Chains A and B, each alone.
Chain A
């Protein structure tokens, strides 16, 4: 029975890997924005991507959807389960066929992410009809399915909501609509870019719950981008820490948050540790600000803001760890003082 069940799975069952990013490199004009970004996500796995603004998180997500600007130079490889070709260098037509079907995205700003002049139900139905193929473009069926989806994401009176315009819904309700659009075609990968940052704290938890349940029900992979570490701790199993367009540390959430190795991760955690704030009165901060694109130092990108930097940090630190999904890149990792 179980063998049968495995065989009838729609997506490639021989491997559970959904997303495989290898050496992703993005240049825009004279700016080198992403350096050798490597990570993978398995089916049903929820991975957090954290870092300050300007660290390359959103750019990574746009690369996964093939939505980088036309003049960006991209190298490396992005493979998605069920897609026979590399997303890097693919034709726009092929990428458009994947977007909204195999990989979907929830954006940060629910207030502006929906078309103000189109009824909500039509906006949900559209993503269904786009990918339905020639035979299945039944608008009425798509609209009925849209109402079902709006019901699933917990909108009260989904029939009325489908006929509403975005401005008639609250921020939280709009984000539910965006989630409904993203999940409409049961994507194998859902990318969420700060989906709750713009929402009231009380609404945040409910939308997070909605995303996690939606992803679990579909056994989809989730890449969750945020700078809110507590959200990562609740939602994700693994975490990637980005700084200066590189992944500087990666590993299981419990491990990385309990024993950070990279000095940047350590700084991020200290800056959001409310217990230490209660003791000292003020939160510790990472000194300085994130350099603007193209002005990161060579060698270790964090050395201009790191209290532990020495001459050796002018050379690029190698990845220390068993695999790209677990390890860090730092010459003076935290927790190594006693050893040296």
Chain B
């Protein structure tokens, strides 16, 4: 067990090192001098050179990488070339907003997918199951931003039940916070829920064909109890895998949905800084997203150990 955890931790660290190198290399390969971009085309050669020195852009790439990483580990992300403000506090600020979206959307997706997927699996040969299956297929095909625009059109513009966009921190006005949270969370969560539903369905269908479910029935358990006591935990194994991938998708999906709903999250921050050509800032945000995705996968790997006892001894 301990060995398994150590091995997975080593994998996490190695992935982080490699991905940070990739992120850094991509940014370094981009054409254009960050200092020139920051100061504008009219700036004098002297002031550009001074800025290059100030931000260490004249040093070799390797030493730039090392100092960037050293800062990243201490979460000292430096200051922006363009706006000259501290990067870390801004990111933390925006991250809180995005986490609300992602976590609520994930919970919504689970709340939709687990019961619906189960019902679809149990009725997979009946018309009701087929209708649900077709509906979820439609859900899978709709991109989150389109779902967002549709939701705004119906619930904000036509019915005027909810605000079309904006963001209020929960400690400022909890009611307004919730009202503004509902539509973006629906946009993200419904689509992910539809995808997850299909995985839950196929996972439950697979499990129901397993011999140990037949054994459970032969013991005298009804179909429902056999599934609850013996099926769900086994069905959860592939679903958790998909869940991890979906969390990554949600983080990225939030970038677009935040635009649609004018929410000041990490995604809008990223897009703003891309527009500003603030390369260090972009690099930090991208690395942070990579870190989040890798951490999620790490946690899922540990979850497997809890769910599936076979993995504890696997070599």
Tell me the A residues contacting B by CB distance below 8 Å: 65, 67, 71, 92-93, 96-101, 104-105, 107, 109, 112-118, 126-127, 130-131, 165, 167-168, 178, 181-182
- Smallest beta-carbon distance B119→chain A, Å: 16
A35–B233 Cα distance when bound, in Å, is: 40
The one of B216, B223, B307 in contact with A115, judged by C-beta atoms closer than 8 angstroms, is B216
A167 & B222 in contact (Cβ 8 Å cutoff): no
Decide if B310 touches A165 in the complex (CB within 8 Å).
yes
Contact among B212, B217, B220 for A116, CB-based, below 8 A: B212
- Interface members, chain B 199-252 (any A CB < 8 Å): 210-212, 214-223, 229-230, 233-234
- Chain A to chain B: the 6 pairs with minimum beta-carbon distance, closest first: A100-B220, A112-B211, A100-B219, A127-B219, A99-B220, A165-B309
* Nearest opposing residue in chain B for A104, CB measure: B218
Is B234 a contact of A116 with CB atoms below 8 Å? Answer: yes
Scan residues 7-38 of chain B and give those whose CB is less than 8 A from a CB of chain A.
Answer: none
Q: Which residues of B contact A (CB under 8 A)?
A: 125, 210-212, 214-223, 229-230, 233-234, 307-310, 313
User: Can you name the residue of chain A whose Cβ is closest to the Cβ of B232?
Assistant: A117
On whether the beta carbons of A117 and B308 are closer than 8 Å, the reply is yes
Is the beta-carbon distance between B210 and A112 smaller than 8 angstroms?
yes
Closest approach, in angstroms, between the C-beta of A318 and any C-beta of chain B? 36
Say how far B74's CB is from chain A's closest CB, in angstroms.
42
Contact across chains for B212 and A113 when beta carbons are under 8 A apart: yes
Interchain CB contact under 8 A, A118 and B221 = no
Q: A71, A92, A97, A99 — which one has the most chain B CB atoms within 10 A of its CB?
A: A99
Question: Which chain A residue lies CB-closest to B125?
Answer: A71
Given A118-B230, A181-B215, A127–B220 Cβ distance below 8 Å?
yes
Q: Which of B210, B212, B234, B308 has the most CB of A within 10 A?
A: B212
Interface of B, secondary structure class, is helix
For B222, give its contact among A96, A114, A182 (CB under 8 Å).
A96
The answer to whether A107 touches B230, judged by C-beta atoms less than 8 angstroms apart, is: no
CB distance from A193 to the nearest CB of B (A): 10
Closest Cβ of chain A to B274, distance in Å, is 46
Q: A67-B214, A107-B214 are in contact. Are A115 and B234 (CB under 8 A)?
A: yes
B309 and A96 within 8 A (CB): no
- Contact in complex: B310, A167 (CB < 8 Å): yes
Minimum CB–CB distance for B37 against chain A, Å: 55
Is there contact, CB below 8 Å, between A112 and B221?
no
Partner of B218, one of A65, A71, A165, A168: A65
Are A168 and B220 CB-contacts (below 8 A) given A117-B234, A178-B215?
no
Bound CA span A137–B112, Å: 34
- Docked CA distance A127–B216 (Å): 8
* Max chain A C-beta neighbours (<10 A), residue from B217, B219, B234, B313: B219
Q: Which residues on B sit within 8 Å (CB–CB) of A165? A: 309-310
Contact A105 B220 (CB under 8 A): no
Contacts of A115 in B (CB 8 A): 212, 215-216, 230, 234
B217 touches A67 (CB 8 A): yes
A334 to chain B, nearest CB (A): 38
Q: Which residue from chain B places its CB closest to the CB of A110 in the assembled complex? A: B211
* Chain A, residue nearest B314 (CB): A167
A67-B218, A96-B222, A130-B221 known; A117+B307 contact, CB < 8 A: yes
Q: Does the CB pair A107–B219 fall under 8 Å?
A: no
